[in-house]
C-alpha cells in the first residue's frame, strides 16, 4: 500500500498534453509548492516548443516535462481535476474517489497562431494564454478548499 500523499493533488487535463495543461502544471509547481500538480492528455502528442519558450520567458522551466496519458497520475489520489480544453472536458473520464472535476477552458495557442509566419509572430498568442493560465492557477488554494482537498 502506497504512503498517503500529504499534499493536495491536482491534475490538469487537456487533449494533447502539449501546451495548456503543461503551462498549468508549470505554474502550479512554481506558485504552489504545497500542491502536487501533474498534467496529462486524453491523446498526448508531445511537448510544444513554443509553450516551453513562453514559460521560459516568465521564468518557469517546463522543458523537462513530457507529454503523458491520464494513467501517469493515480486517479484515486486526486483531489481536483481541471480540464483546460473543451475536448478534454467533453471526453473526461470518470474519476473514482474524492476528485472533483471542474472545467476552465483556455484558448488553444497553436490554433490562434496557425497563420503566424514565424515563432516571433506566434509567441504573443502563447504569452496571452500563459498569463491567463497563471491568473487561474493563482486561485488553486481556494478551489482546493472548496473541493475539500486541503489536507
Coil vs helix vs strand at 13: strand
CA 147 – CA 130 distance, rounded (Å): 24
Averages of pLDDT over runs of 10 residues in the chain (151 residues) are: 70 92 98 95 92 98 94 85 80 73 92 95 98 97 73 43
Contact 32, 137 (CB under 8 A): yes
**Per-residue DSSP letter, 28:** H
Domain boundaries, the chain: 9-143
Q: Which residues are catalytic?
A: 14, 85, 92
Please tell me the predicted confidence (pLDDT) of residue 96.
67
**Per-residue DSSP letter, 70:** G
Looking at domain 9-143, which CATH architecture does it have? 3-Layer(aba) Sandwich (3.40)
Please tell me the predicted confidence (pLDDT) of residue 15.
87
Amino acid at each position: 500500500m502506497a504512503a498517503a500523499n500529504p499534499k493536495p493533488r491536482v491534475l490538469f487535463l487537456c487533449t494533447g498534453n502539449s501546451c495548456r495543461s503543461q503551462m498549468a502544471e508549470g505554474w502550479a509547481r512554481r506558485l504552489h509548492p504545497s500542491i502536487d500538480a501533474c498534467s496529462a492528455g486524453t491523446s498526448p502528442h508531445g511537448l510544444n516548443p513554443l509553450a516551453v519558450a513562453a514559460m521560459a520567458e516568465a521564468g518557469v522551466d517546463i522543458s523537462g516535462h513530457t507529454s503523458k496519458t491520464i494513467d501517469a497520475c493515480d486517479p484515486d489520489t486526486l483531489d481536483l481535476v481541471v480540464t483546460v480544453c473543451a475536448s478534454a472536458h467533453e471526453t473526461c473520464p470518470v474519476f473514482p474517489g474524492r476528485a472533483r472535476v471542474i472545467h476552465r477552458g483556455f484558448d488553444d495557442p497553436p490554433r490562434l497562431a496557425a497563420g503566424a509566419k514565424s515563432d516571433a509572430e506566434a509567441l504573443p498568442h502563447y504569452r496571452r494564454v500563459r498569463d491567463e493560465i497563471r491568473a487561474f492557477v493563482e486561485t488553486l488554494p481556494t478551489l482546493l478548499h472548496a473541493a475539500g482537498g486541503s489536507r
